[in-house]
Amino acid sequence: MRKMALFLMSMVLLAMAAGVALAADYPSKNFECIAPAGPGGGWDTTMRMVAKVLTEKGLIKTAMPVVNKPGGGGGVALTYMQRKKGDPYSLIVYSPPLILINLTGQSKLGYKDVTPISMLINDFGAFAVPKNSPYNTIDELFDALKKDPKSVKIGGTSSMGSMDHVQFMVAAKAAGVSDLTALQYIAFQGGEGLASLMGAHIDVLSTGMAELVGPKESGDIKVLAVTAPKRIPTGPLSDVPTLKERGIDAEYVNWRGIFGAPGMPEAEKKFMADALKQMAETPEWKEICARNGWVEAYMTPDEFGAFLDKVNEDNKVVLEELGLLQ
């Protein structure tokens, strides 16, 4: 029995020693990089690119295999991260759904249950109408909605209470549409939303801007506005006004950033944030951003945390008005 206790004690000491060593030469073992969705989507691509550049540029010397944990709009991976409390070797990528799934009650966990490390990129939404639509500007569309909230059928490529829905409602609210719950939002999945817009089955589509570039160039649709704070500088969407330019004081950022497990130690968090900052400045990363149409937007852990707090409050207001807040 005594022997046993002695053995256990020495094991504990050993583990503590290992713990101290860990902080000094972090990272000393392989990471687990989690994409909270299946292969091929935005989260998956971002995580894989980050892992690739970090290891190829030697910013992280240990391996960074990417693991897919899809489900529940990111909620399944969020639950999984709770099992990794304090572990500095688990990284995950998230974007606005992290906040939305919590506010709408889809997940009990939220952005407070992971550790923000760095925001990396921004992407924006856009609103488009079919080519022979009577609406030529976003104001005309919102004027019609103000007169008769049921006159415009709004489509989006994600479910009620998710990004495409909320970004339209944020704009509608700022434009002065009074009863947001009277607006008719129709949820589609994947490419069906765009197909329905091109077939003029719906009047307007709210979605990510990248999806609209092709049909816009071919003249099948008109893009009325983007949700970016500033006009997109180059490319086919550079002639599309922002909401602000049209006098609607609203924006909606599809931010994407890297998070650690809840309770990630300060020293390791700082190390990771620095590594990501250096990565964000490499030409390789800049090229990846350019190719994907991502806007670079690095933020430190503190800035990122404050940003999330603000976004959370903003979304809360709109969801409350919609009656979707849980």
Partner 1 sequence: MRPNAWVGLVAIVFGVAYGIQAWGLPRARIGNPMAPVYFPLGLAVLMVLLGAIVFIIEARKGLNSDDKSKRPKFHFQSMKLILFVIVLCFLYTALFDRIGFVFSTILFLMAMLLGINGGRGKLVKNTVITLVFSFGMWYIFVNIFQISLPASPLGIF
Partner 2 sequence: MGEIFTHLLNGFSVAMTPYNVLWLVLGSALGTVLGMLPGLGPTTGIALLLPLTFTMPPATALIAMSAIYYGAMFGGSRSSILLNVPGDGAAVASCFDGYPMAQQGRAEAALAMSAIASFIGGLMATVAFVFIALPMARFALKFGPAEYFVLMIFALAATAAISKAALLKGLISLIFGLMLTTVGLDFQAGTARFTFGIDELQGGIDFVIVIIGIFGIGEVFENLEHIAREVVKPVQTKFGKIWISMEDWKRSFWPILREAPVGFFIGILPGAGGTIAAMMAYNNEKQISKRKDEFGKGAIEGLAAPESANNACSVGAMIPMLTLGVPGSGTTAIMLGALLILGLQPGPLLFEQHPDIAWGVIASMFLGNVVCAVINIPLAGLLVRVLSVPGRILYPLIVAVAFLGVYTINFAAMDFVLLTILGFIGYLMKKFKVPTAPLILASVVGQMMEQSYRQSMMLSDGSFGIFFGSPICLVLWVLAIGSLVWPFISEARAAKKKAA
Q: Which is nearer to partner 1, 78 or 324 (CB)?
A: 324
Residues 77-136 that bind partner 2 (CB under 8 A): 79, 104, 106-107
List the end-to-end C-alpha distance of the chain, in Å, as a whole number.
54
Residue 282 site contact among partner 2, partner 1, none (CB < 5 to 8 Å, cut-off depends on kind): none
What is residue 94's three-state secondary structure? strand
Neighbours of 298 (CB within 10 A): 18
Among partner 2, partner 1, none, the one that 40 touches (CB under a kind-dependent 5 to 8 A) is partner 2
Query: How many chain residues bind partner 1 (CB under 8 A)?
Result: 11
The listed partner (partner 2, partner 1, none) that binds 293, CB under 5 to 8 Å by sort, is partner 2
Rule CB under 8 A: is residue 181 a binding residue for partner 1?
A: yes
The span of 108-116, 129-137, 181-189, 256-264 binding partner 1 (CB under 8 A) equals 181-189
User: Which residues, at least 6 apart from 157, have a Cβ–Cβ distance to it below 8 Å?
Assistant: 164, 187, 188, 189, 190, 192, 193, 194, 205, 207, 208, 211
CB 147 within 8 A of CB 175: no
Q: Which of 57, 173, 201, 231 binds partner 2 (CB under 8 A)?
A: 201
122 DSSP β-pair partners:
255, 295
Give whichever of 189 and 234 is closer to partner 1, judged by the CB atom. 189
Q: Are 85 and 104 spatial neighbours (Cβ–Cβ below 8 Å)?
A: no
The token pair that represents 85 in the structure block: 């409390």
Site string for partner 1, 31-70 (x = CB under 8 A): ----------------------------------xxxx--
* 72 near partner 2 (CB under 8 A): yes
Identity of the residue, 184 or 300, whose beta carbon is nearer to partner 1 in the bound complex? 184
- Stretch of 35-43, 56-64, 259-267, 275-283 lying at the interface with partner 2 (CB under 8 A): 35-43
Which residues, numbered 293-322, are part of the site for partner 1 (CB under 8 A)?
Answer: 322
Q: Are 298 and 278 in contact (CB under 8 A)?
A: no
Please identify, using beta-carbon distances, which residue of 71 and 305 lies nearer to partner 2: 71
Q: Where are the beta strands (DSSP E) in the chain?
A: 32-35, 66-68, 90-94, 115-130, 153-156, 184-187, 204-208, 221-226, 253-260, 295-299
